[in-house]
Structure 1
Amino acid sequence: MAYRCQECGYRSVKWLGRCPGCGAWESFAEEREEKTPRVSRSSPARILRLSEVSGEGFKRYASGLSEFDRVLGGGLVPGALVLIGGDPGIGKSTLLLQVAGRYLSQGLSVIYLCGEESPGQVRLRAERLKIPGELELLPETDLSAALPAVRERHPAILMVDSIQTVYLPELSSAPGSVSQVREATAALLRLAKEEGVAIFLVGHVTKEGVIAGPRVLEHLVDVVLYFEGERSGPYRLLRAVKNRFGPVDEIGVFEMREAGLFPVENPSRFFLSGGGGAVFPALEGTRPLLVEIQALVVKSYLASPRRTAVGFDPWRLSMLLAILEKHLGVSFYDRDVFLNVAGGLRLRETGADLAVCAALLGSRLEKDLPEKTVFCGEVGLSGEVRPVLALETRLKEARRLGFSQAVLPWGQEIRDFPQVRPLRQVRELLDLL
């Protein structure tokens, strides 16, 4: 017997209140360890030269859902193991069933392993989404019985919903435990690479926002996707955080309707709320998106004024406030500051600094920002405005949506944009207000 952390897989011979590996509290569970001897092959492995490996490109399966294929890098690669994580009820099963229907309409065979729902429940959802009846269901959670059936049928695509419900009987631990999730994923990985079957895995997300199970689960798979959004709202974001066959940080935007998920062809209009904030041309993967950064600066009656940021790094917000106070002489020490990225998008790039500063100054000085203007640039500690990457791509999207003025770092070469306002120092923002 041993105790294992259900968050990171750390092993201990006794129960611990806090995991030394990841710092999680009360995450240890008792598991029985059964060591099964692995049979070694009698023949040695063969070493290949790089010139002997086939140089033919992967043939991808395009589903026809433009946003889904974009996040995958153009389509699904045969033999790929894809992990989709998200909060309960966010629409992971709905997305997979819709994708299965698209693949079936192209003549590809798809098996849907339903571990969380009965076949009757899956059929009700499939009828609502108008999924073809050729979809094959596998109502089985025992992988020792499910894998031979899959190998015999040899489908093009296998969907496992979810990885926390399947188990291997040779392990005595419960389904969803660290050992079961790890070994089940390893067994499915062998199936994908040996048979060339593309496999989708559905993974639950914990309250901390990470996929439940050991972190090694994300290292085993080829692609990790997160399905995000507010369940009460109509929009969903599909984000790639790992992709061995395409770009990372790519996002797809969907709208949830009664008939399922529909791609949003122009997501920039969704993120622009028209609330008078500073507009920033963000770059998510290879896609430019225009987002609105809103700020509210009010007098504080607390001993320690609040600094709240939604969709932006709160530590970077504190740094930008200090820069504005140092180089512009605008005080924020007695003000509550609230920052919000409209639409629920989370900005991770430093190029949004200039837009954040513009929004903060506009609210603090009670001045309106210039209309049809985008702000893009990184702000350094000495107040200088630093250049950003892929500026031409960002401004092309801004011009397509009708923006005519851009506030940018000094020295970056810009072509085909109506009006450009270059800045050397962040203090020059005051001239715009």
Structure 2
Amino acid sequence: MNYLVIPDKFKGSLTAKEVIQSITNGLERADKSPSIDTVIASDGGDGFLDAVATNIVAEEVIVETLDPLGTKIFASYLFKEETKTAYVELAKASGLELLKEKDRCAKSTSTYGTGILIKNAIKKGATKIYVGLGGSATNDAGMGIAAALGYSFLDEDGIVLNPIGDNLSKVFKIERNATASILNRIQFFAVNDVDNPLFGPNGAAYVYAKQKGACTEDIAKLDNALEYFNSVIKHSLVVDNSLLPGAGAAGGTAYGLKTFFNAEFISGVNFLLELAQVSTIFKNKKIDYVITGEGKIDSQTSNGKLVKGIVDLSKQFNVPVVAVCGKLDANKAELQKMGLKNAIEIYDKKKSVDYSMRNAAKLVENIMYQFFKKKTSIMFKIKLM
């Protein structure tokens, strides 16, 4: 049988490449002669650069920058000289995975380090910049990136504020450095696949800040701060992007990119599937199964995640999709809404989540073997009839 394998990472456990290897191992055990095409993909979050790097030839540029709490680190972006295009993954400098769990604090983190990467890319000659959003440790509405690129945020006393989430509610005036005019010649693209607004019950703080170390009280304060910050923006810049679908991505970074740099919002899934020419694979080869997956499949998976994008594309070619995940927290109706007929979790309720994460590679391989052993046996019998 012909298989197309396009999974996302299993966050905190396996990279997309490692998931692909485990699925491939399982298929090769179950099917004596499998034909397997694999694609490294991403929804614009963690793994964005890996997905881009597998599909285009670009230089990896390593830069000294800052992590979400302002500690010096080295991070990279990709630069394609021929097209003057840079690809920046926000999680590389401003990601949640850069911080120990005890250090995560959405009030104190900033996207400033990502701004340093973007600034370096502009100095290198980039005129197009794609920023992959997702996996952020921040809730600063992109204020950090803006500060790194020539904006200043002042309080009532005219003191320049540190661009962190906790200071959104203290912004009184916004200034732009004269040298920042070069930004008018740069095309920015915010690559993400969530549709959350900036603030409110479905906004950046209420939906995502908890996993970034915010308590219930913090979340309410951050949400109010985002709404206040938008009011300052409306007064100072006479724009309001707060309700744009996706504005709340990466703690409001998408909102900041749109507001300060007029970034275009594009779908991460569609962008990377097009880059990988996945439609061409479907057209040139009869695919029997598409296999995708991610660490957790739940009700949010249908909101623009990679799995949903794979399902939607596969429907166009009438190919069934099998999804493997670490944890399955979606009911039958939610799976049907996503278009998934088969979703398999590796989590065993008799064992700890930690066990599943530590042994994910082997568990994915085994569950793929078990599932497709039955499928290939049925196919073999049909051929004999």
TM over 0.5: no
Q: Name whichever structure is richer in strand by fraction.
A: 1
Q: Name whichever structure is richer in helix by fraction.
A: 2
TM-score, with structure 1 as normaliser: 0.26
Which of structures 1 and 2 has the larger relative contact order (alpha carbons within 8 angstroms, sep 6+)?
Answer: 2
TM-score, with structure 2 as normaliser: 0.28
